[in-house]
Structure 1
Amino acid sequence: MAALETQPRYLYKIVASNAPIREPIPERLPVSELDQDSGFVHLSMAHQVPNTLKMFFKDDPVVYILRIEYGRVIQDIRWESPDAKVCGPRPGEGLFPHLYNGLKLGKEEVESIAIWQNEDGWDKALEGAEPWLLY
């Protein structure tokens, strides 16, 4: 895809509660089954995080949100539609960043981590996410 009109400063990876992220971040984090099957790391821009949380992590009690500086991974990002087999059309969200770098995500790519708790839905966590979750 052609370059975005305005490039994001950060991209985000949501990690399920069954794969806790500890600091210091290792050289290479474990790869989710979805990412392994897809052959790339699924990422989101800030405005895509809420729906991704609500669609795929609605029952998780906790998630780990990894913030990745776009400039660190720009050479390995492809902007693509979500796979229809994984999630149906998501109007208004645009293309998603997918990281094609051999499934490597670790201390060189991740700038910081946030831990969010699911309190009867993700709205409370999302309200408290700014200014860390930069739109």
Structure 2
Amino acid sequence: MASKPSYVYKLVPSSSPIPLDISELPLRLPISTLDQESGFIHLSTSVQVLNTLKWFFTEEKTVYVLRLPYDKLEEEDKALRWEDPKAEVCGPRGGEGMFPHLYNGLKLGRDEVDSVRLLERDAGGWDKPIEDAINEGWLVY
């Protein structure tokens, strides 16, 4: 995955409700404990979203997915870095096991998000909701 993605995605548990209408998003959304402790916002590419859901959202029935335009984040003074999940190793964009991490003072809100979608896990898990989001052209690389 050497090419630049169009979007990266932030997964938010349904216990932290997010408005689906982006005009109602605040300038700064609440930041998860994990992101606060890490010092950056954990993001995923479209290809990584399914496994991120399977590994880290095992107890969730619904998850908010925020779509962020990649170019806009990349312009922010190199605030976007490609690292392993613990930010111990930097690597090339889209390299195996490398995730986009946003280092912008933990700001995520209306200015960064272009769309919000609520995914609901079905009896088969997350595969079908992800397939639907891809087929509808919402979840794209």
Q: Is TM > 0.5 for Structure 1 vs Structure 2?
A: yes
One-letter amino acid matched to 1:41 = I
> Percent of counterpart pairs with the same letter?
53
Q: Which residue of 2 aligns with 1:112?
A: 115
- TM-score norm. by structure 2 comes to 0.84
One-letter amino acid matched to 1:12 = Y
Deviation at 1:133, TM superposition (A): 0.4
Structure 1 gap segments, 5+ residues each: 85-91
- TM-score norm. by structure 1 comes to 0.87
Q: Answer yes or no: is 1:96 the counterpart of 2:99.
A: yes
Alpha-carbon RMSD across the aligned residues, in angstroms, is: 1.8
Deviations 1:1-50 (A, max 9, x none): xxx83111000000001101013110000000100000000000000001
The number of aligned residues is: 126
Mapping for residues 25-64 of structure 1, pairs under 5 Å: 25-64=25-64
One-letter amino acid matched to 1:134 = V
Q: Which residue of 2 aligns with 1:87?
A: none
| C-alpha distance in structure 1 between counterparts of 2:104 and 2:86, whole Å | 19
Aligned mate of 2:128, from 118, 124, 131: 124
One-letter amino acid matched to 1:50 = L
Mapping for residues 63-78 of structure 1, pairs under 5 Å: 63-74=63-74, 75-78=78-81
Structure 2 gap segments, 5+ residues each: 88-94
